[in-house]
Structure formats: C-alpha cells, structure tokens
Amino acid sequence: MKTNIPAIEGGTAVRETFLSFHQALLDEKEEFSVIQTLRSGWLTTGPKTKQFEAEFAKYARSEHAVAVNSCTAALHLALVAAGIGKVEEKEEKGEKDEVITTPMTFCATANVIVHVQADPVFVDVDPGTLNIDVNKIEEKITSKTKAIIPVHYAGCPCEMDKILELAKKYNLIVIEDAAHATETEYHGKKVGSISDMTAFSFYATKNLTTAEGGMLTTNSTELEEKIRVLALHGMSKDAWKRYSPEGYQHYDVLYPGYKYNMTDIQASLGLCQLAKIEDFLKLRQKHVAAYDEAFKDMEAIVRIGRIPDIKHAEHLYVIMLKTDMLNASRDKVLSALQKENIGVSVHFQALHLHPYYRQRFGFSEGAFPVTEYAAERILSLPLYPGLAEQDVCDVIEAVRKVIGYYSK
Ligand SMILES: Cc1ncc(COP(=O)(O)O)c(C=O)c1O
C-alpha cells in the first residue's frame, strides 16, 4: 500500500524496482554494426571512423569533424591546436595564458586548461540557465586572456552572439564545450558550426553514445589538419593511410602529439546512434513536457533552462529546490528520492570549490555566488529515450511525495 510518507521516513517506496538515472538505448542495429566491424579485421581508426566523421560533420553543419576518444581529449586538442598555454618564457615572467570558462561544469572543462599550463578564469552563471553569464565576461578579460570556453549546460545554448562579439573585440578563440549539446541549435545555427571549435561527448550517458568518445568540429581547414596530427602522436600519416593499397608510406612526427584517436568499434556504435538522434530527442522532449507540466505549479521547484526560441538538446532535466520553503536540504531530498527507487544525480558541484581548485588558485566560498547557490540546490531527474511513460509518472509521483512531505 502506498502512503504519503517517504520511504526514507518509514513509508513505502513509489517503485518496487530501482529506476536508473540513465540507461543507453541500443538495439540489434548497434550489435550488428559492432560485429561487422569486429569481423572486418579493422578495429582501430579506419573506414567507419571516416564515415562517422563525415556524417557527424553534415549533422553539425560543420566543414570538418575529427573523431577522438573523449570530449576531454577534444577540448585539450582544441587548446593545443589554438596555441594556448605551454609557453615557458611566459610562465617565467608570470605571464600565463588565461582561458575564461564557467565553474558550473564538469571538471574536464577546466582540467584541460591546467593541462596546457594556462590558468582557468571563472565567470559566474546566469541563474535561469546556469550558462556562463555573458554580462560578466568582459570584466574578466585581460591582456593574458586567449580563449573562452562556454558550456551549453544541460543542452541549453549559451548566448553565443554576445560571446562571439567579445571574442572579435578582444581577438579571442572560442571553443564550445558541447558535451551536453549534440542536437542544440542557437537561433537556427547548429552548435558545431558557430565558433572556432566545438567539442562533443559520446560518453555512456550522453545523448549519442559510443561508450567513450568525442568529436571536435571546426570550419577551419588549418585547424582541422593540426588537430588530426595532434590526435595521433603528431604523426603526419595515420595507420589507415599508411597501410593503404597504394603502398607503404613512411610518416614524420611533426609534434609530440597525443593518443586520442577513435576506434572503428566506437564509430560503428556512433553511426547507428547518430541515425536515431532526432527520434531519441523527440522521446526526451515528451518526457520533458510531462515533467514541465507536473512541476509548473510546485512553488518549491524552479525549472532550469526553459527558455524560448532555441533548440534544447534536453540532455539533463535539472530542477532547483527553493530550500527555504522546505524542511530538508537538497541532499536529504536526493537521498529520499533514491529511497523511492528513483535514480538522481547532481550536475554539478561548484568546480572552484573542489580541493585542487581551492588549493591551486585560492578559490573559496563567495567567489561565484550564483553558481554556489545553485550547486547547493540543484538535482537532475532521469531523462533518456528508453524511459517508459510509467517511469516518468513514477518520477513525478516521487518528487511530489518527497517535496510535499518536506514543504513548510
Ligand atoms: C560539460 C562537460 N564537459 C566535458 C565532459 C567530458 O566528456 P568526456 O567524458 O567525453 O571526456 C563532460 C562529461 O560528462 C561534461 O559534462
């Protein structure tokens, strides 16, 4: 028998079985495609990767797409290809390059800035979208600023017009972190075609998955050539080209490059997933509409990123709790939902308050108030194409029950 007492307080859970926060939707097409690749004898970067790059570039309306093994790799390559950081004389003079980004993101966005020995400069976020607040960027630009990495949080596009205007004014490179934003469009422009470079993630929980994987798109042929070489040891010819029927070709090492290439096994998953991406989005849009409708009258819940006139990738469904209206903290609500057998998550804790960033850059509480306020109150609900209607109803019932119980 169901009661209004949350399971965490001794009541009966909304669901008998646990609903995962995320589950990839794969079928016989992916299975067949991977088996085909395994049987082809060519496992690493080869014809499937080339095909995936071509199809993804078309989807992203970008001139070029380079497939890599993660979005982190794509972001790192973008910074290296743009010549950011790593200039020892500059460091000796205390003149390290700076890259502007947001503290409301996954650690990879800022970690790669540290990897190239540049300094991340955080700018606080907009409370409605949790995207970088474009009105606060200019005050952070100095003579050391070389790039801006906007993150399209949850799949909602950043205000790219303003970012590109600032980039033009101060001669900055723009690298979009589109880990959440494979399908996103900004006023009719496809993310992936807008700025200097755009990094996508195909991690297991992403809208398009290759288990692990990523893509870097650009409209610049010069950058594309550089990225391709950097992504595979800095070699002038990749294995696919070297072993071609035209005869063996030697390679030259042009840079001390990285091992970031995508395999054909991953690409064979990616091709199948890309073919379904818009259908998957329609399914998630249906779930989002159900959540929006259910929560619109709940005063203790603020829905994040619901803005008009854009194409939202609906990667995450994020709500912010007005904790002053509740007798429970966000973490208590998280635990209560888990006890109702609903998987939940947090995207993200404030990045600048993680131990490394506190110690290395001296950040402390109060540095980015909007991010910190949100980071204590947000939670992400299950949102994936394989959710059944009943699953969505269960999530709604659990949220209503838990929030109702703890409301003041
Ligand atoms: C905003 C953001 N950027 C970058 C990444 C890194 O992606 P990957 O795991 O493909 O390296 C993630 C991963 O979740 C992310 O959420």
Please identify which of the residues 48, 146, 190, 206 carries the catalytic annotation. 206
The β-bridge partners of 368 are none
Residue 266 contacts residue 210 (beta carbons within 8 Å):
yes
Q: Which two tokens stand for residue 327?
A: 């007798």
Nearest to 104 by CA among 352, 302, 323: 352
Nearest to 127 by CA among 307, 311, 357: 307
CATH code linked to domain 277-406: 3.90.1150.10
Mean pLDDT of the 59-84 span: 98
Is it the case that residue 336 has pLDDT exceeding 90?
yes
% of the chain surpassing 70 pLDDT: 95
**Predicted local distance difference test score (pLDDT) of residue 243:** 64
To test the pocket of ligand 1, the residue of 69, 72, 156 to mutate (highest count of ligand atoms within 8 Å of its CB) is 72
Is it the case that residue 280 has pLDDT exceeding 90?
yes
The mean pLDDT of the chain is 95
Is it the case that residue 90 has pLDDT exceeding 70?
no
Query: Which residue, chain included where needed, has tokens 């900004």?
Result: 186
Give pLDDT tens digits for 343-361: 999 999 999 999 999 999 9
Give pLDDT tens digits for 179-205: 999 999 999 999 999 999 999 999 999
Residue ranges of the chain that CATH labels 3.90.1150.10: 277-406
Residue 136 known to be catalytic: no
Buried b (16+ CB within 10 A) or exposed e, 121-142: bbbbbbeebbbbbbebbeeebe
SS (H, E, C) 335-371: HHHHHCCECCECCCCCHHHCHHHHHHHCCCCCCCHHH
Residue ranges of the chain that CATH labels 3.40.640.10: 28-273
To test the pocket of ligand 1, the residue of 106, 113, 153 to mutate (highest count of ligand atoms within 8 Å of its CB) is 106
Of all protein residues, the one whose alpha carbon is nearest to atom 9 of ligand 1 is 203
Confidence category of residue 110, pLDDT binned at 50, 70, 90: very high
Is it the case that residue 1 has pLDDT exceeding 70?
no
- Type of residue numbered 149: I
Confidence category of residue 231, pLDDT binned at 50, 70, 90: very high
Nearest to 376 by CA among 334, 314, 407, 327: 334
| Between 1 and 342, residue with greater pLDDT | 342
Pairing of strands 173-178, 197-201: parallel
Architecture of domain 28-273: 3-Layer(aba) Sandwich (3.40)
Confidence category of residue 239, pLDDT binned at 50, 70, 90: low
Is it the case that residue 2 has pLDDT exceeding 80?
no
Report how far ligand 1's centroid is from the alpha carbon of 153 (Å).
11
Residue 70, ligand 1, Cβ within 6 A? yes
3-state secondary structure of 132: strand
**Predicted local distance difference test score (pLDDT) of residue 241:** 64
